[in-house]
Structure 1
Amino acid sequence: MSRRITFPHAGDYHLAIGHLFRKLGYEVIIAPKTSQRALDLGEKFAPEQACLPFKLTLGNLIEAIEEGANVVAMVGGRTGMCRLAFYSELYKKILTENGFEVEFVPLKLKKEFWLAVKNHLPELKPATFLLALIEMLLKMRGLEAIRSGYLDHHPREASPGACHRLVQQMKVELQEVEGFWEILGFPKKVRREFKKIPLRENPDLITVGYLGEFFMTIDQFGTHRIEEYLGALGVRVVPADGFSDFFIGSFKLLKVFDRFLPTHKHQVHKLAKPFLNLVIGGHAVESIGQSIWFAKNGIDGVIHVYPFGCMPEIVATSILPTVSEAHEIPILSLCFDEQTGEAGIRTRVEAFVDMIRRKKAGY
């Protein structure tokens, strides 16, 4: 039987994950771009109390299965301190009960991923598997370079639309690039191309840190394209860690490094300790520590996004006003579910940006 594998969208990271599975020998089925239909499907089959990321990703999977996918790869699966750990099991239960016949592969840097893939592809060699994983992580870094270049240049582009066109071009090139050294050098190429975009002076330019529950920070549909709107308002956005950091963070050896070496994650956790000296799951500690890091590094404000019902981020939301007062940095927390309207979000974001500009002007 031909294994046609799919996986949820997570921002644009499906481009990197698709590369991994193509290199391993699977036929890859990419779900249609996340849309209202995907959300409607997720709402239809998911528990009512499930968070927005669960509903969106479930909708992605169902649309891909409709197009012929028979294997699902999913981050999570029985381990971890967030409900993400149960996503795979819930997907399996929901899809099976509703007549969708698929197999599941756990997508994480652990032995069970290798064993599941090896079961499908008996002739797969460990070296091929390892190289495919490394190239996936490098392509994730390439995607993060594209995003970073866009967020930095969009508020100052002299020709409207230039950054958007370059982003689309770079995504196509990243999808097509092959070979370890070519993929390794791709972020440098991205930075070089963005430097060619003519910029204008923007005396009202402000810089805002962007953080929260990791899926919401990289998904554009679920957050009503906040990043794009901020750029249109003349705001430079600095995101917290990308998906590659989240994925690499599941590797136990690197967790040891984070504990004993002065990595960025170690610094963030240290900054959060006076406010939250306990790992409660999700990215609550990171949301608090990263907000303080932004305050200490000249960022003008912070936007914190999370899905309704996400307990770790709800805890962080209750602490962030204290962080805001202690470190004199404005923080806006935005909660999203399937009922959240774009107009309301944009109104709050615009008011927040105006408040920061008035604060900088001394009003």
Structure 2
Amino acid sequence: MTGRLLKILTFSLITLLSTSTLALDIDEKLTFRILQTSTSKKTILMNRGLEDGLVIGDHAKFFITTGVFARAVCIKATPSRSVWSIYRIVKPSEIQRDKVANLKISSPVKLTNDRSKSLQATYPSGKQMGEPVDINRSSPQQRSAYAQSQGSSRYDKNYEEQSELEAIKTTSFSSNQTMSRPTPSKILDKNMAFNVSAGLNMLSGTYDNVGVSTDAELSSLGFAGEFELFFPKSQSFLQKFSLKASVGYYSGSNGISESTSSSIDFGGAVNFHIFNPLATNRFIPYVEFGFGLSMTSLNEIPETAGSSTTESLSGSGTYMNFGGGIKYTLDSGFGFYAKGDYFSSSSTFSIETGGSTVENTISLSGFRAIGGAYLRF
């Protein structure tokens, strides 16, 4: 029994020392992202917690480049998340989901002698001044005194705020609760997506056959699969970018003597999103620039101009695309997107003729309309 008690005391001491060592000092700064807010914007959940040096009872100023927009106290914390009660709001518009901002640890607000300006007129002796009253933990006498000093309407407002806080606690911090679907905060941390799409290619160009140029025109369906990488932990401009690796395929009649062409494209793309690409339940516009390699096949191509003899050719080349679109992600991580872009490709085919090698080229370019779906994971 004594040995077990000693182990418990040792573990408690180590935990206490670790917390003290990691805790942030006054005026230390930290970048964070708001994951959830209450309806009144006086309770928020952020993506920083004990591992980042935050502890329950910390006071902090929230600020961006234009200045301080709120002041709050930490009321609950886990290793990677924390809940903050905001007791001073300077700019309500800045308190919104997915907002990236900075916090600076500060000392508690001093209690003024002017009761009309006091954040907290009555509070049990021995406690830090300036912290919001915890209605759930206070005694009936304390709640009654607080209600009398602040007015019943203010008491009701704080009681409603506590209800909102409890809702956030239940959703975000309960480790025993089985969730039917991922919470938005979990989706925000998922940095990869698998995309599938189908689109209409409307391309035109030329086929250079041994120095003789022939018009080419191709309208066909194309299909693609893509892996997309996001940067959710970046607090800089990089957060709005994503990288893609893709494989695409299209095939159809090219208008060259009833011949057909097909292409398998391997490449990548860079996307820039106007808003945070990790946000859910909102439309996110973006622009895309891509490039890669093409493996192209031409079937039933005349050997020479005017020849009735045909052949099948295999060649390679490059492509590029540039365009824009819009995407929409659900809280489940499933989403949809649509885009339009300008596509251009050029492929070369080596042909042995008359003891020498000649190179034929097909160049196609035009507009593509594409729609698809994806899953973040």
Name the structure where helix makes up a greater proportion of residues. Answer: 1
Q: Please state which band the TM-score falls in when normalised by the shorter chain.
A: under 0.3
TM-score for both structures, normalised by structure 1: 0.24
Give 1 or 2 for the bigger CA radius of gyration: 2
Name the structure where strand makes up a greater proportion of residues. Answer: 2
TM-score for both structures, normalised by structure 2: 0.23
Instruction: Give the structure, 1 or 2, with the largest relative contact order (CA under 8 Å, sep 6 or more).
Output: 1
